[in-house]
Amino acid sequence: MSLVLPPSLAGRPAFTRAEALAAGMTVADLKQLARVFQGVYAPSPPQTVLEQARMLSVVLPEGAAYSHVTAARLLDLPLPAGWLPEQLIDVLVAGTAHACRRPEVRGHRGPVPRHVVLPTLATPVVAHEHVFAQLAGELGREDLVILGDAVVGWRTGRTLDRLVAAVPAGHPGSVAALAALEHVREGSASPRETLFRLRFLEAGLPEPELNAPIYDRSRGLVAYLDMYWRHLGVGFEYDGLWHYESSQQRQDDIARIRRVEQQGVRVVVGTRQDYPQVGGVLKQLRSAMADQARLLGRPVPSMRHDPSTRHDPSTRAFPSRALPSPRAIGHQ
């Protein structure tokens, strides 16, 4: 027979041992529940980072906020490693109060910067741009550029100026943050788009517009291109896995590219199979740019080198390293 929770506890994401006993539950009853944290129980273990955060919120002090890695996950920002329930949870406590000292928490102490409130979460979450600053000392430069691109990504409404302002001088990791910010651009829509852009720039391609609108002769919107070299009329589209989920999606994508090409734009399409060895895509882009330049009577862009010949990621301009295990970092 399944355990029926007292009315005062039913519907809550989690509750403390003291709350359970005060509501009339017994120690035997508690053994039928999941002990999700020290002194915290729930009907079942968390299956997502949001469920985990909701459960921990029942014991967090007033003024606390989720920060660092945990905040990035709650805000759906890209990180090099996925969520695991056994990872420590980042909690920032304001002012001069002691950092949150719980075995499941990686505690931080200091001013709580601008934060956001998620609909089903009682504890606020440090805002996107400040998460970037907090993780600057923990991520490799390329992963930090990917994170920055996501913060100021397409249709987010957040700007690069806002991201720069979130990195105070002398802040731990500020040197790494400012170095990454030189390569962060507004308008990217996915980590893979960022990676392709970095490889293209390493190869000497000009800086592209990101998610650029393409118009017809009557100024009607035809489509957006992931990358667009407007002065040459050349575009690049990255087709992720979702583009192949159905035949209808593929037909829509093909029709969209045809409409773009009817406006005199050459479009090169890349997929997951084209990365990290991007030589094939680069060859197509070089050819398209040369053809368009000759057609338009403009200089052919020069290319410095081909990163597709590099097999060691450490030789790239943007070496990437795995996110350190939160349990290995300890309290800060």
Q: Within its chain, how far is the Cα of 120 from the centroid?
A: 21
Query: Do residues 23 and 128 share a domain?
Result: no
Please count the structural domains in the chain.
3
pLDDT at 310: 46
In this structure, is residue 171 part of a structural domain? Answer: yes
Query: Do residues 226 and 145 share a domain?
Result: no
In which band, very low, low, confident or very high, does the pLDDT at 244 lie, cut at 50, 70 and 90? low
pLDDT tens per residue, range 177-203? 999 999 999 999 999 999 999 999 999
Asked if 131 and 75 touch (Cβ cutoff 8 Å), the reply is yes
Mean pLDDT of 112-129: 96
In which band, very low, low, confident or very high, does the pLDDT at 96 lie, cut at 50, 70 and 90? low
Asked if 256 and 223 touch (Cβ cutoff 8 Å), the reply is yes
Query: Do residues 232 and 249 share a domain?
Result: yes
In this structure, is residue 228 part of a structural domain? Answer: yes
Query: Do residues 222 and 266 share a domain?
Result: yes
Of the candidates 287, 281, 278, 255, the residue with the CA atom closest to the CA atom of residue 269: 281
Residues 288-320: b if buried by 16+ CB within 10 A, e if exposed = bbeebbeeeeeeebeeeebbbeeeeeeebebeb
In which band, very low, low, confident or very high, does the pLDDT at 169 lie, cut at 50, 70 and 90? confident
Distance CA 123, CA 91 (A): 10
In this structure, is residue 34 part of a structural domain? Answer: yes
230 token code pair: 């407007």
Asked if 117 and 294 touch (Cβ cutoff 8 Å), the reply is no
Q: Which helix (H) or strand (E) holds 286?
A: helix 279-296
Q: Per-residue pLDDT for 319 more than 50?
A: no
pLDDT at 97: 64
Distance CA 285, CA 229 (A): 10
Look at the block and give the residue holding tokens 């368009």: 292
How open is the CA angle 25-28-33, to the nearest 5 degrees? 80
10 Å Cβ neighbour count for 21? 13
pLDDT at 1: 55
Mean pLDDT of 311-327: 42
More confident residue, 241 or 289: 289
Which domain CATH number covers 270? Answer: 3.40.960
322 token code pair: 């795995």
Residues 37-68: b if buried by 16+ CB within 10 A, e if exposed = beebbbbeebeebbbbbbbbbbbbeeebbbbb
pLDDT tens per residue, range 280-315? 999 999 999 999 999 999 988 776 655 443 433 433
Q: Per-residue pLDDT for 17 more than 90?
A: yes
Asked if 199 and 299 touch (Cβ cutoff 8 Å), the reply is no
pLDDT at 329: 34
Q: Indicate the SS3 state at residue 267.
A: strand
10 Å Cβ neighbour count for 101? 10
Q: Per-residue pLDDT for 108 more than 90?
A: yes
More confident residue, 122 or 249: 122
Domain that holds residue 218: 205-303
Query: Do residues 40 and 76 share a domain?
Result: no
pLDDT at 330: 33
Query: Do residues 27 and 64 share a domain?
Result: no
Query: Do residues 293 and 272 share a domain?
Result: yes
End-to-end C-alpha distance for the chain, whole angstroms: 45
Question: How high is the mean pLDDT of the chain?
Answer: 89
Query: Do residues 286 and 219 share a domain?
Result: yes
Q: What are residue 266's DSSP bridge partners?
A: 234
Query: Do residues 74 and 176 share a domain?
Result: yes
**CA of 17: how far to CAs of 7, 31, 50, 244, in Å?**
16, 11, 21, 49
Mean pLDDT of 128-132: 98
Q: Per-residue pLDDT for 100 more than 90?
A: no
Q: Per-residue pLDDT for 253 more than 80?
A: yes
Instruction: Determine the residue type at 240.
Output: G
Distance CA 211, CA 228 (A): 8
Query: Do residues 173 and 84 share a domain?
Result: yes
pLDDT at 142: 97
Q: Per-residue pLDDT for 252 more than 90?
A: no
In this structure, is residue 195 part of a structural domain? Answer: no
**CA of 262: how far to CAs of 141, 298, 310, in Å?**
39, 21, 36
Phi, psi of 130 (to 5 degrees): -80, -30
> Poorest-confidence range of 85-89, 119-123, 219-223, 325-329?
325-329
Query: Do residues 28 and 125 share a domain?
Result: no
pLDDT at 2: 81
Phi, psi of 161 (to 5 degrees): -60, -40
pLDDT tens per residue, range 53-62? 999 999 999 8
In this structure, is residue 324 part of a structural domain? Answer: no
pLDDT at 306: 53
Q: What is the percent of the chain where pLDDT is above 70?
A: 88
Query: Do residues 8 and 120 share a domain?
Result: no
Which of 115, 147, 182 is the endpoint of a domain?
182
Asked if 38 and 103 touch (Cβ cutoff 8 Å), the reply is yes
In this structure, is residue 80 part of a structural domain? Answer: yes
